[in-house]
Structure 1
Amino acid sequence: MTTRRKLMAGIGASAGIGLIGFKPAYAAIRPPVTRVEPVVMTRFGITTIDPYRWMENPKDPDWVPYAKAQGAYARHVLDRLPGRAALEKRIAALSGATEAVRDLQRAGNNLFLTVRPAGASSARLEVQGEDGTRRVLFDPNTAKTESGAHVSLDWWRASPDGTHVVYGSSPAGSEESVGRVIRVADGVTLKEVFERALFGPAYWLPDSSGFFINRLSDQTMQGTPDYFMKSVCWFHKLGDDPKDDLKAATFGLHQMVDLTEVEFPILMTADDSDFGLLLGIDGVRRELSIWSAPLEGITKGLPVWTKICSQADTITGFAHSGSTLYLTSEKENPLGRVVAVDLKEPSLTSAREVVPASRNPIEALSVASDGLYIQIMDGGPQRLRRLSKDGRLHDLTMPFEAGIYAVFSSATRPGLDMVLSGWLQHRSIWNYNPDTDQFSDTGLSPKPNIDLTPFESKRYLAKAKDGTQIPYVVMAAKNATKRGPAPCLADAYGAYQVSNTPFVNPRSLAMMELGGILMFASVRGGGDYGRPWYEAGKKATKSNTWNDYIACCEDMIARGLTSPAKLTIRGTSAGGVAVGRAMTTRPDLFAGVICDVGCVNLSRSEVEQNGPANFPEFGDPRVAEDYRNLVAMDTYFTIQDDVSYPAVMVITGITDPRVAPHQGGKLAARLQALPKQKKPVIMRVTFDEGHGIGSTRGQIDSKTADEYAFALWRAGVPRFQPRA
């Protein structure tokens, strides 16, 4: 057993400074020196030592100075890379040259769009009338907070008749949405204001007279582990004062609705249905709890709820039209089958199968007036199947090998619209017409005038430690590896059953134009092959995630595509587990590591506001088996004093509501203090950004330039080497 004396001695050696305070005078020329206050904790027989636990308190007087100094040091390092400024200019030209449309909704005689105009910083809400004329309803580019922070459009939904839109916006990438209503005819914002409306959008009644909206409890405090707990779903009648809204659902409100404290109650409607569906969404868990009741009773405060399924029933998707509820059931088959429930007499036991399980997993369901659409995952690319009203099932012929990034449909309209992208096909909005059985590009999202023909994408398979074949995709200029191994930025995620679907980001061309290659690994924990692939990289099997990542990197090297001296790996958010543990497992394999708002200290998740919501994904630290798994996937606690790690760039935004900034702060401090760490460790900090959701185009351009410049610097590309 490791004694407290040995643990304390180890921390003293790793820090090399003892209990020394922060010295801001050195911030611009070398990493800040910060205080070390070792906390020894033994839990379930596992002892950990945490030298920087004080960072978990954002009100600690040393935290903001430390973060500012780290940010200043990172800028000092990155801005000295000679090619960085030109790289950011090129990225900005690629990202902003063309208008981009992200979301749409057809309602009444209007078409509503989320539009980021060419050259603009943020997306805005527009409406297009029958005559084709478009006008702006809400533009965050012209809105600022009193402190000068930028504002982001977070979510919106138009009423079925197209006369009103309810939307949420927040400052500085915080995702702390405030809801408001716009009257479409004259663009006037109504008096209603909905605080703490983080989990939009709102869902309208079919007659457009009101909507249901989820809001955080006014009893919770931001930054605490119970912040997201016991949220409330309210019914708001259009024109009323929100203080008079009806509490429709929350923990403990109705005897028949056994919501847990963690579940978010979301009440959903369909344009052609008299029934409402109450969803209990347990953080990031895919399994749903669902109740149904007639809308008339819900809006009067006299709901007659019937429970349709619980999490144990393994229902992972739904769509409803009229009195029919379609459900994706994974209980009998982990790849999913579709069953139908009659909402007039709802019972899962009497549900009838309408689409049997196939060899490909079901991703999502959408309903239109002509039938049910089933989104299928096929190892990364996605496609659609259609169940027509007469019961015929057929596969739709996709316009290209695509990733489906959004589907927009209504039970009162035929067909659907969707956002598609390929590895080398620009993102665009397509429409499927069931009468012609054809897809067509709507032209609503103009394609950038960017030639993709000089580039190529190739799919490879790597052999994992246990023999499993792990797919990965490499994108590069067609001659990138002609002269030997190329600089490479590799990416992996591997969580929440999120798949590695085809997508081309115009910004990435800037990296490839300089001879760099990009790799995307479909590691386990993701959803490329459905639930079995997901479960094989979760909790007790999480080590597969980073070992698969390592296997893909080794396979690239064996093929001569890159080399350890030219390879930088990156992981974002939950991908912090993949990138961090790949680094601590094989520090010899990489030249650089980028951890972008990454989860690197998950064994301490119970102290974060978003921690409990992630217990289903990573584990509950209060449970012995889960805690052992969490410590094993915890990058911060697997760092060794006697190892020299690759160069590391930690990225965090101070307003991040999803991964607490102290995770990155701890990691950077720990690595910088290692006695054998010779390669640079920097922490890029911004104070007007969060998790990246809500960042402006310019902010994303700047971060992308930093990531690419860092990778090219570590790969030894001459134009990115700092001058002596």
Structure 2
Amino acid sequence: MTASTVAHAGGSTALSYPETRKLDVIEEQFGVKVADPFRWLEDDVRVNPAVAEWVAGQNQVSRAYLSNLPGRDALKARMKALFDYQRYGLPQKAGGRYFFTKNDGLQNQSPLYYRNGLRGKDRVLIDPNAWAKDAATALDQWEPSPDGKLLAYAIQDGGSDWRTIKVVDVKTGAQLGDEIRWAKFTNIAWVGNEGFLYSRFAEPAKGQEFQALNENQTLYFHRIGTSQAEDIAIYATLDRPKLGHSAQVTHDNRWVVITSSKGTDEKYEITLIPISNGKGKTLPIDQWKPRTLVPGLDHDWQLVEGVGNQLWFITNKDAPKLKIVRVDLGDGEPVFKDVVPERSEPLARAQIVGDRLVLSYLQNATSIAEMTALDGTPLQTISLNSIGTASGFSGKPGDPETFYAFSSFNQPSTIYRFNSLTGKSSIFGRPELSFDPASIAIEQHFYVSKDGTKVPMFIVHKKDLDLSKGAPTLLYAYGGFNVAQLPTFDARRMAWIESGGVFALANIRGGSEYGKAWHDAGRLLNKQNVFDDFIAAGEYLIQQGISAKGKLAIEGRSNGGLLVGAVVNQRPDLFAAGHAAVGVMDMLRFDRFTAGRYWVDDYGYPNKETDFRNLLGYSPYHNIKSGVEYPAMIVTTADTDDRVVPGHSFKYTAALQAANAGPKPHIIRIETRAGHGSGKPTDKLIEEYSDVYGFLAKWTGLELEDDAAK
């Protein structure tokens, strides 16, 4: 394989990239000729030997470069120390047993434990660390049966979105013979203790497991003790193959609530199936008759819970920042009634715990929580003490006990037990830390974007950090899919902060921080606002002296990887370095692979002219500027990413390396036996981010402790 050579700044050794073959691929759309010379890199690395050779060559270059970064090993050691703390997942109670994950610190995967009673002994039920030599097989979602005697759980292998569901006997630890394959984007919803509902697609053709479009998702019922071949399809929409379906079952086993959607926008249909006679007895499946509750795909509808013939939902119908409604199903037509009206802060989550509604809101991108009666009467504010993120509060009617987690940039999750009757919290699990949270400053700033919009940004650093000359700064954002970016702990970022860097999180448009309007202002034809917000964040950090020219790095994952690729094309002068992780880089072909078709709600349709022209205007792959000096760039992806297929990152990197884009390195790091991010073992995370942050440290001037000082 021949190579192209680029002298990289800061060293005498030339960095040689593998020569990437170009094809004469030009397609005309709406009168525009679009070149795609690296399309062959879209092929699956397991299927096309030429792509496998390209991956091996690129990894050889990146490994050689990254392994010689000054201070990388010291950064890795600090990350390892910061990961080494005992952490709990949120407990779930069933039949008097408490189920939760717990990691002793550096375990690659978190085992699942249970207790018989709140103060019972912790017993390991499932330990995924023994499932694979490379620790890349992970425990994903899990759900105990209502009586707590069985537990269904999903296995994720190599980071893929495909799941295999199995069942374990809790008391004996024995695996049952039940095994479900080709489940994807699924809940596990128990129907009594007899079996469960799950969502799956048809088995893909051989060689297309990680690239084929996902269509015709179907809901199945699996009865415990039977084979998957005997599972019964209970709901599908073959006339609308793009709809996906997920099922929930109310705690009283009265209703199956099916939520159907076409894309990622919060627009749902709701279908109900009454599955019991109202006296606790489950009806035979041949008597399960679906009925439409909410037709069309017009608004957000999220089930909170059901009690008898009443269901509670979160909805944005006539309430852009969301409200709670109650539906009385009764004997006639359903009657909808507002219970908790919309307010100025967007509603993030709601649960019924005992005879209370527990509500979580976002106030300037930080959590606040409150309780009301089931009719919406305000009862109590739940004290969360500081800037941070509360999650959890799952519960059920009639039981006042629930659990929630609270975390912040300087505080890993503490798990609290909460009683909705008394309003009191007590600690269930608190981590012991290897650093002093009080030594870390957390500030929230507001800056002005290009069009005058005020945007919040969190800034985190050591309190004693000298900012007189600006500090090396890592700026992160996401900006899409109605996903809020909130204050949470990350050991990798803390290693950057403890090394003397600043971490900044910009709450740019496209997320849900301020409700539907904030999301709408950052999607479709408004997508440029997202890039403008991120650029303005970088300019603000430099203008305020927090960072400085040549000291600012940017990072984003998935949709955030697209963000990094787009703003680097638009303002290559502003940034010293960038990390684009598992990014959507070809905006003209994203909808042709796996889950990409869902994203048209945020991005638009490449086959519609108005959307096409908008997408072409910012697509990272198509807008690389030759003859312009680019920041140092590290692209990361994984061979088993079947969410954002790695071809996006492959093509973008090939185009960047082929351009005359200046002397700084433009490399790609390709993980094996890994996917879009979930399920990645701890040791792979530490290895990856010591490479990435070591790279960003070098190009922002962050002085890491040298290896000899460890």
The CA deviation at 1:693 is 0.6
Residues in 1 aligned to 2:237 and 2:655: alpha-carbon distance in whole angstroms: 41
Q: 1:78 aligns with which of 66, 77, 83?
A: 66
- Amino acid in structure 2 at the alignment position of 1:143: W
Q: 1:243 aligns with which of 223, 229, 237?
A: 229
Q: Helix, strand or coil for the counterpart of 1:351?
A: strand
- Amino acid in structure 1 at the alignment position of 2:98: L
Aligned to 1:467: 452
The CA deviation at 1:390 is 5.5
The CA deviation at 1:721 is 10
Residues in 2 aligned to 1:225 and 1:50: alpha-carbon distance in whole angstroms: 19
Aligned to 1:106: 93
The CA deviation at 1:594 is 0.4
The CA deviation at 1:24 is 11
Aligned to 2:30: 44
Q: 1:308 aligns with which of 293, 310, 313?
A: 293
Alignment of 1:178-577 (within 5 A): 178-205=164-191, 207-218=192-203, 222-223=208-209, 227-252=213-238, 260-296=240-276, 299-322=284-307, 323-345=309-331, 350-389=335-374, 391-400=376-385, 401-443=387-429, 445-577=430-562
The CA deviation at 1:719 is 5.0
Aligned to 1:67: 55
Residues in 2 aligned to 1:184 and 1:244: alpha-carbon distance in whole angstroms: 24
Aligned to 1:255: none
Residues in 2 aligned to 1:579 and 1:391: alpha-carbon distance in whole angstroms: 43
| 1:168 corresponds to 2:154 | yes
- Superposed CA RMSD in Å reads 2.4
Residues in 2 aligned to 1:590 and 1:170: alpha-carbon distance in whole angstroms: 36
The CA deviation at 1:298 is 7.1
Deviates more, 1:190-199 or 1:617-626: 617-626
Do the aligned residues in 1 keep the contact of 2:153 with 2:167 (CA within 8 Å)? yes
Q: Helix, strand or coil for the counterpart of 1:359?
A: coil
Residues in 2 aligned to 1:489 and 1:504: alpha-carbon distance in whole angstroms: 15
The CA deviation at 1:56 is 1.2
Aligned to 2:102: 115
- Amino acid in structure 2 at the alignment position of 1:651: T
Do the aligned residues in 1 keep the contact of 2:90 with 2:403 (CA within 8 Å)? no
% identical aligned pairs = 27
The CA deviation at 1:123 is 1.2
Q: Give CA-to-partner distance per residue, 1:365-420, whole Å, 9 cap, x none.
A: 21222122222121211222323136422452322232123342223422421122
1:197/1:325 Cα in 2 relative to 1: closer, same or farther (>3 Å)? Answer: same
Q: Which has the higher strand share?
A: 2
State the TM-score, normalizing by the size of structure 2: 0.93
Q: Helix, strand or coil for the counterpart of 2:154?
A: strand
Residues in 2 aligned to 1:545 and 1:24: alpha-carbon distance in whole angstroms: 34
Alignment of 1:562-601 (within 5 A): 562-601=547-586
- Amino acid in structure 2 at the alignment position of 1:92: K
Q: Helix, strand or coil for the counterpart of 2:17?
A: coil
Aligned to 2:279: none
Aligned to 1:616: 601
Do the aligned residues in 2 keep the contact of 1:309 with 1:315 (CA within 8 Å)? no
Do the aligned residues in 2 keep the contact of 1:652 with 1:684 (CA within 8 Å)? yes
State the TM-score, normalizing by the size of structure 1: 0.91
Q: Helix, strand or coil for the counterpart of 2:270?
A: strand
1:565/1:506 Cα in 2 relative to 1: closer, same or farther (>3 Å)? Answer: same
- Amino acid in structure 1 at the alignment position of 2:173: G
Q: Helix, strand or coil for the counterpart of 1:127?
A: strand
Q: Give CA-to-partner distance per residue, 1:607-657, whole Å, 9 cap, x none.
A: 211211212221121222222222223111111222221110000111001
Q: Helix, strand or coil for the counterpart of 1:427?
A: strand
- Amino acid in structure 2 at the alignment position of 1:123: S
The CA deviation at 1:580 is 1.3
Q: Give CA-to-partner distance per residue, 1:582-611, whole Å, 9 cap, x none.
A: 111110000001001111112211321121
Residues in 2 aligned to 1:581 and 1:428: alpha-carbon distance in whole angstroms: 37
Q: Helix, strand or coil for the counterpart of 1:626?
A: helix
Residues in 2 aligned to 1:393 and 1:220: alpha-carbon distance in whole angstroms: 54
Residues in 2 aligned to 1:346 and 1:310: alpha-carbon distance in whole angstroms: 17
Do the aligned residues in 2 keep the contact of 1:315 with 1:330 (CA within 8 Å)? yes
- Amino acid in structure 1 at the alignment position of 2:165: G
1:346/1:188 Cα in 2 relative to 1: closer, same or farther (>3 Å)? Answer: farther
Do the aligned residues in 2 keep the contact of 1:405 with 1:418 (CA within 8 Å)? yes
Residues in 1 aligned to 2:539 and 2:364: alpha-carbon distance in whole angstroms: 21
Do the aligned residues in 1 keep the contact of 2:129 with 2:135 (CA within 8 Å)? no
- Amino acid in structure 2 at the alignment position of 1:611: G
Residues in 2 aligned to 1:511 and 1:402: alpha-carbon distance in whole angstroms: 20
Q: Give CA-to-partner distance per residue, 1:153-191, whole Å, 9 cap, x none.
A: 111100111000000112222232111000001000100
1:395/1:313 Cα in 2 relative to 1: closer, same or farther (>3 Å)? Answer: farther
Residues in 1 aligned to 2:195 and 2:310: alpha-carbon distance in whole angstroms: 23
Q: Give CA-to-partner distance per residue, 1:287-338, whole Å, 9 cap, x none.
A: 2211112114875133222211135441242212222211222231211222
Deviates more, 1:233-242 or 1:447-456: 447-456
Residues in 1 aligned to 2:4 and 2:546: alpha-carbon distance in whole angstroms: 42
1:325/1:469 Cα in 2 relative to 1: closer, same or farther (>3 Å)? Answer: same
1:446/1:676 Cα in 2 relative to 1: closer, same or farther (>3 Å)? Answer: closer
Residues in 1 aligned to 2:158 and 2:14: alpha-carbon distance in whole angstroms: 25
| 1:140 corresponds to 2:128 | yes
The CA deviation at 1:346 is 7.6
Residues in 1 aligned to 2:427 and 2:395: alpha-carbon distance in whole angstroms: 16
1:32/1:579 Cα in 2 relative to 1: closer, same or farther (>3 Å)? Answer: same
1:324/1:426 Cα in 2 relative to 1: closer, same or farther (>3 Å)? Answer: same
Do the aligned residues in 2 keep the contact of 1:41 with 1:49 (CA within 8 Å)? yes
1:346/1:531 Cα in 2 relative to 1: closer, same or farther (>3 Å)? Answer: farther
Residues in 2 aligned to 1:135 and 1:589: alpha-carbon distance in whole angstroms: 53
Residues in 2 aligned to 1:184 and 1:224: alpha-carbon distance in whole angstroms: 33
Residues in 2 aligned to 1:395 and 1:288: alpha-carbon distance in whole angstroms: 31
1:525/1:291 Cα in 2 relative to 1: closer, same or farther (>3 Å)? Answer: same
The CA deviation at 1:705 is 1.2
- Amino acid in structure 1 at the alignment position of 2:638: G
Residues in 2 aligned to 1:282 and 1:211: alpha-carbon distance in whole angstroms: 24
Do the aligned residues in 1 keep the contact of 2:356 with 2:420 (CA within 8 Å)? no
Q: How many pairs are equivalent?
A: 691
1:66/1:336 Cα in 2 relative to 1: closer, same or farther (>3 Å)? Answer: same
Q: Structure 1 unaligned runs (5+)?
A: 1-20, 253-257
Q: Helix, strand or coil for the counterpart of 2:412?
A: coil
Residues in 2 aligned to 1:176 and 1:389: alpha-carbon distance in whole angstroms: 38
Residues in 1 aligned to 2:121 and 2:166: alpha-carbon distance in whole angstroms: 24
Deviates more, 1:394-403 or 1:709-718: 394-403
- Amino acid in structure 1 at the alignment position of 2:112: L
Q: Helix, strand or coil for the counterpart of 2:320?
A: coil
1:94/1:347 Cα in 2 relative to 1: closer, same or farther (>3 Å)? Answer: farther
Residues in 2 aligned to 1:99 and 1:594: alpha-carbon distance in whole angstroms: 29
Aligned to 1:4: none
Q: 1:658 aligns with which of 643, 650, 654?
A: 643
Q: Helix, strand or coil for the counterpart of 1:235?
A: strand
The CA deviation at 1:718 is 5.0
- Amino acid in structure 1 at the alignment position of 2:411: Q
Residues in 2 aligned to 1:370 and 1:475: alpha-carbon distance in whole angstroms: 39
Deviates more, 1:100-109 or 1:177-186: 100-109
Residues in 2 aligned to 1:60 and 1:22: alpha-carbon distance in whole angstroms: 19
